[in-house]
Amino acid sequence: MAHRVSTPRSAILTGLTVIAILMFVVATLMALFYAPTDPQGMVQRIFYMHLGAFMGGSLAFLIAAIASILYLVKRNFKWDMMALAAIEVGLVLTGFTIVSGAIWARPIWNTWWTWDPRLTSAAVMWLAYAAYLMLRNGFEDPDRRARFAAVYGILAFSSVLFTTFITRVRPDTIHPVVVGPSPQNAQGSFEVNSSAMRLTLIFNILTYIVAAITLIWYRYRLERFTRQVQALKMQVLSR
């Protein structure tokens, strides 16, 4: 049986990869050199990547939730692979958000971490999706694994929405809100007041969104090939 396991990268993916890399370079250079220095000093420049990665990660989790619903409805393993790919990428990006936030907080808040509602909700989000990967490891049968993972993917997303919502309505957060009015108690607020800062921010967010989509695509391809190899192995063994 002639099976083509690997398919050549499509032109769109190649194009997307080039765009993502170029954007990433430009976005990083903009954050480091183009944007004016804030009164907080150089450390404020982290903010562009911090928010960008968060937006990319959130998008990845949204994609995972939609893919999970689609898997339960259609029972096509395509959606299971998509959800897995999106969650892994989301974990990396939100992980970066948390770490970059901690680096910023050390000089500004004088601590790496604090049990602030926003930080707590981010940590819970990360843990819920790490648990998703644990869940996948717990089940052998591929059908059951995909089904349970999809159920958990939906549940995790709803609880993340809830945690986010609950912690956001609390007024006692010290986390600054840069876009929109900052909470009263916010410490280390700064303003995105120049057009150069605004442009850098928007470009960074766009970059991380494109990067997230590109990474999910690659991870999806890898997962598909892995499963095709497994299927071929099974075919050979059961012959």
Partner 1 sequence: MIEIKGLVKAFGYMPVLRGLDLQVERGSFLALLGPNGSGKTTLMRILTALSKPTAGTVLIGGWSLPAEAAAVRAQLGVVAHQPLLYDDLTAAENLHFYGQLYGLPRPLRQGRVAEVLARVGLGARADDLVRTFSRGMQQRLAIARAILHRPHVLFFDEPYTGLDQDAAAMLDALLRDVARDGHTIVMTSHDLARAHALSSHMAILSRGKIGFHGLSSDIRPDSLPALYAEVTGAASVR
Partner 2 sequence: MTRIAHKTTVQEASQQPAGAPFWRVMVALTAKDLRAELRGRELINAMLLFSVLAVLIFSFALELDRQARATSITGVWWVTVVFAGMLGLNRSLASEKDRGNLDALLLAPVARGALFFGKMFSNLIFMWIVAALLTLLITVLFNETLFLPWLAAVMLLGTVGFATVGTLLSSMTVHARARETLLPILLLPVSLPIILSAVRASTAILSGAPQEDWIAWPQMLLVADIVLLALAYILFDFVVEE
Please say which residue, 31 or 84, places its beta carbon nearer to partner 2.
84
**Alpha-carbon gap, residue 173 to 96, rounded angstroms:** 21
Q: Which stretch binds partner 2 (CB under 8 A): 80-88, 122-130, 183-191, 206-214?
A: 122-130
Q: Which does 225 bind (CB under 5 to 8 A by kind): partner 1, partner 2, none?
A: none
Q: Residue 25 has which token pair? A: 């370079």
Using CB under 8 A as the binding criterion, the count of chain residues that bind partner 2 stands at 26
**Alpha-carbon gap, residue 45 to 28, rounded angstroms:** 10
Question: Which residue in 46, 63, 122, 128 binds partner 2 (CB under 8 A)?
Answer: 128
Q: Which does 142 bind (CB under 5 to 8 A by kind): partner 2, partner 1, none?
A: partner 1
**Alpha-carbon gap, residue 107 to 102, rounded angstroms:** 9
Cβ at position 129, least distance to partner 2 in Å:
8
Looking at residues 161 to 190 of the shown chain, list those that interact with partner 2 (rule: CB under 8 A).
Answer: 162-163, 166, 169
Residue 32 is a binding residue for partner 1 (CB under 8 A) = no
Please say which residue, 18 or 133, places its beta carbon nearer to partner 2.
133
Give yes or no for a contact between 116 and 174, defined as CB atoms under 8 angstroms apart: yes
Give yes or no for a contact between 124 and 163, defined as CB atoms under 8 angstroms apart: yes
Residue 134 is a binding residue for partner 2 (CB under 8 A) = yes
- Those residues with Cβ within 8 angstroms of residue 122's Cβ, 6 or more apart along the chain or in another chain: 94, 97, 98, 101
| Amino acid at site 116 | D
Q: Which stretch binds partner 2 (CB under 8 A): 18-26, 49-57, 149-157, 185-193?
A: 149-157
Q: Which stretch binds partner 1 (CB under 8 A): 37-45, 106-114, 205-213, 229-237?
A: 229-237
Give yes or no for a contact between 158 and 166, defined as CB atoms under 8 angstroms apart: no
Residue 231 is a binding residue for partner 1 (CB under 8 A) = yes
How many other C-beta atoms lie within 10 A of the C-beta of residue 89?
A: 27
**Alpha-carbon gap, residue 234 to 239, rounded angstroms:** 8
Looking at residues 128 to 147 of the shown chain, list those that interact with partner 1 (rule: CB under 8 A).
Answer: 141-143
**Alpha-carbon gap, residue 114 to 109, rounded angstroms:** 9
Looking at residues 21 to 80 of the shown chain, list those that interact with partner 2 (rule: CB under 8 A).
Answer: 72
CA dihedral 79, 81, 87, 91 (to 10 degrees): -160
Chain residues in the site for partner 2 (CB under 8 A): 72, 124, 127-128, 131, 134-135, 138-140, 143-144, 147-148, 150-152, 154-156, 158-159, 162-163, 166, 169
The site for partner 1 (CB under 8 A) is made up of 77, 141-143, 227, 230-231, 234-235, 238
